């Protein structure tokens, strides 16, 4: 009996334990709750999440009662697409947290706190992209020392609020881009360059290469191959190793696109341009896109635009219509012409010229020290300090050359010629005529000490004065010049002056490239990618 009871007791305890052991081998079903709908409803944002954000971001969410605002999936996905599109502007999608935003969007089990964090990151990324499209990724003052363009203002909080209300993220960001056709042509240029195959297989041409019509050899094959790559020569016309008429025509097209005199001969500058590869050209386009975002949003009803690397001045009306163009001479690399925006305030007819410090040190003092006749030959008077009493050349002390003022009298041999265009700027530069008019025959004209010399300044003066007062005529201007007296003519109607730096753009002849005479492209691109 005892034995039976003991067996029964063992059975009672052992049987449940066997069930328990068996049950431990089975996985219990896990229920996953989809919470992605939380992104589409307003969630509370704890102020702790805003602790490390900017004042603007804090103010933005305070104005929206500390609630999430990106509750429309269409707006979120539109912004993702807009970030990807920013690569067409030469910007990096990674700068705007694209991969992190996409992870948040694909998360189907998101918490309310994660929704808030996603919303804040969307707002911060939108603000950053809008500002970069509107006024550039970099502050030009941190890149170049001789850059003086006014900073553009953008209220991103107001912009974002409107965009979210109207579900117009794409359109709003498009409106931040520069409206100039040159900017869009640069985007088109970048798209074209991105479509080209890698050009690493092209070997550089020898710098001493010289080719002309009827020449032949392997180097001609190499030149034709490069011309076909850049679409200046049709591949059907590229057979053979003869430098024929079709190849010469293609070379002329290539030369025009690069600001080289189109003589059809391959040498010097043409060889150097042919040796520049795809990678560098892309970098050049990207640098120019950034500069355009720094430039004025609107050039106004009438403006004088100087493109420094192209050695050209254009008179623009209504922000887009080119009325006249002029050749110009700009500053040499050691004495750069600054980039700036200003307004003409007066013209000086028959100007005098006061020698600036750089020219005094590097030119006048060495020359006059050797021969005091330098002053008479250059129609120049010497004054001590602020005195009005002239110092005679024989009394001049070259050891104290910077203690004097040097003023060249008016006349055709004056360094400023017969007319000078003044506008206020911190660099003390201006536009002017010149007594070295032969320089305009050169294709490379980075030759001045910083100011811009204009090939036909009287024509430009006539345009400016005609806009000022209907009483001005060319005859009246000629009369004033003939008198030989210095006269200031005040200007009341604003004509803006823009000294800008473009080394790439696209027109009817294709992508245009110019030499980066001040090495500004390289500096800018490296900072854009750091």
For the annotated catalytic residues, the residue numbers are 432, 451
Name the burial class of residue 349, with classes exposed (0-12), middle (13-18) and buried (19+) by CB atoms within 10 angstroms of its CB. Answer: buried
d(C-alpha 259, C-alpha 507), whole Å = 13
Task: Kindly give the residue spans of alpha helices, DSSP state H, lying in 352-448.
Answer: 357-359, 365-370, 374-377
Write down how long the chain is.
530
Calpha distance 454→434 (Å, rounded):
8
Cα 221 to Cα 241: distance, rounded to the nearest angstrom? 5
In what helix (H) or strand (E) does residue 448 lie, and over which residues does it extend? strand 446-448
| Spatial distance between the Cα atoms of 371 and 365, rounded to a whole number of angstroms | 10
**For residue 114, what is the enclosing H or E element?**
helix 112-135
108 and 37 Cβ atoms separated by less than 8 Å = no
Cα(294)–Cα(21) distance, rounded to whole angstroms? 74
Neighbours of 339 (CB within 10 A): 23
- Maximum alpha-carbon separation in the chain: 147
C-alpha distance from residue 81 to each of 86, 101, 114, 155, 198 (Å): 9, 11, 22, 22, 27
Best CA proximity match to 191, nearest among 285, 279, 277: 285
Angle between helices 278-294 and 181-195 in degrees, nearest 10: 160
CA atoms within 13 A on the CB side of 469: 11
DSSP H or E run through 168? none
Q: What's the CA gap between 116 and 113, in Å, rounded?
A: 5
Handedness of CA 299, 303, 307, 312 (dihedral sign): positive
Nearest to 75 by CA among 39, 99, 129: 39
247-269 core/surface letters (b: 16 or more CB in 10 A; e: else) = bbbbbbbbbebbbbebebbbeee
CA 397 to chain centre: 46
């Amino acid at each position: 009996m005892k034995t039976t009871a003991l067996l029964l007791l063992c059975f009672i305890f052992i049987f449940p334990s066997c069930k328990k052991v068996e049950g431990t081998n089975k996985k219990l079903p896990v229920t996953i709750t989809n919470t992605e709908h939380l992104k589409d409803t307003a969630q509370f944002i704890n102020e702790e999440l805003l602790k490390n954000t900017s004042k603007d971001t804090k103010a933005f969410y305070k104005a929206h009662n500390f609630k999430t605002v990106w509750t429309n999936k269409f707006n979120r996905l539109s912004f993702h697409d807009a970030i990807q599109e920013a690569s067409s502007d030469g910007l990096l999608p990674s700068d705007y947290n694209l991969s992190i935003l996409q992870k948040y969007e694909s998360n189907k089990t998101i918490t309310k706190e994660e929704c808030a964090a996603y919303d804040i990151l969307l707002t911060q990324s939108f603000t950053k992209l809008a500002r970069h499209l509107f006024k550039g990724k970099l502050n030009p003052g941190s890149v170049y020392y001789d850059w003086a363009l006014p900073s553009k203002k953008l209220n991103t909080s107001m912009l974002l609020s409107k965009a979210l209300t109207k579900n117009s993220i794409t359109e709003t960001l498009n409106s931040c881009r520069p409206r100039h056709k040159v900017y869009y042509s640069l985007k088109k240029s970048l798209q074209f360059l991105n479509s080209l195959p890698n050009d690493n297989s092209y070997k550089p041409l020898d710098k001493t290469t010289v080719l002309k019509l009827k020449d032949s050899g392997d180097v001609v094959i190499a030149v034709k191959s490069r011309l076909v790559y850049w679409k200046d020569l049709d591949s059907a016309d590229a057979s053979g190793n003869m430098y024929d008429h079709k190849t010469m025509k293609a070379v002329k097209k290539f030369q025009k696109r690069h600001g080289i005199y189109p003589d059809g001969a391959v040498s010097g500058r043409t060889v150097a341009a042919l040796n520049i590869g795809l990678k560098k050209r892309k970098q050049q386009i990207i640098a120019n896109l950034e500069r355009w975002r720094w430039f004025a949003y609107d050039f106004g009803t009438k403006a004088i635009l100087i493109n420094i690397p192209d050695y050209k001045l254009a008179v623009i009306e209504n922000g887009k219509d080119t009325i006249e163009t002029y050749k110009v001479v700009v500053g040499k690399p050691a004495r750069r012409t600054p980039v700036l925006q200003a307004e003409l305030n007066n013209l000086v007819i028959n100007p005098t010229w006061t020698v600036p410090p750089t020219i005094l040190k590097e030119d006048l003092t060495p020359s006059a020290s050797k021969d005091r006749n330098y002053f008479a030959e250059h129609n120049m008077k010497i004054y001590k300090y602020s005195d009005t009493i002239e110092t005679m050349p024989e009394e001049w002390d070259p050891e104290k050359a910077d203690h004097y003022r040097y003023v060249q009298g008016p006349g055709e041999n004056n360094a400023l010629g017969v007319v000078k265009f003044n506008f206020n700027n911190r660099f003390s530069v201006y536009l002017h005529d010149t007594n070295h008019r032969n320089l305009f025959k050169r294709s490379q004209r980075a030759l001045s000490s910083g100011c811009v010399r204009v090939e036909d300044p009287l024509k430009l003066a006539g345009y400016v004065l005609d806009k000022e007062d209907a009483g001005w005529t060319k005859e009246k201007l000629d009369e004033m010049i003939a008198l030989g007296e210095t006269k200031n003519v005040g200007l009341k109607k604003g004509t803006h002056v823009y000294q800008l730096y473009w080394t790439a753009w696209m027109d009817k002849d294709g992508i245009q490239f110019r030499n980066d005479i001040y090495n500004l492209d390289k500096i800018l691109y490296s900072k854009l990618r750091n």
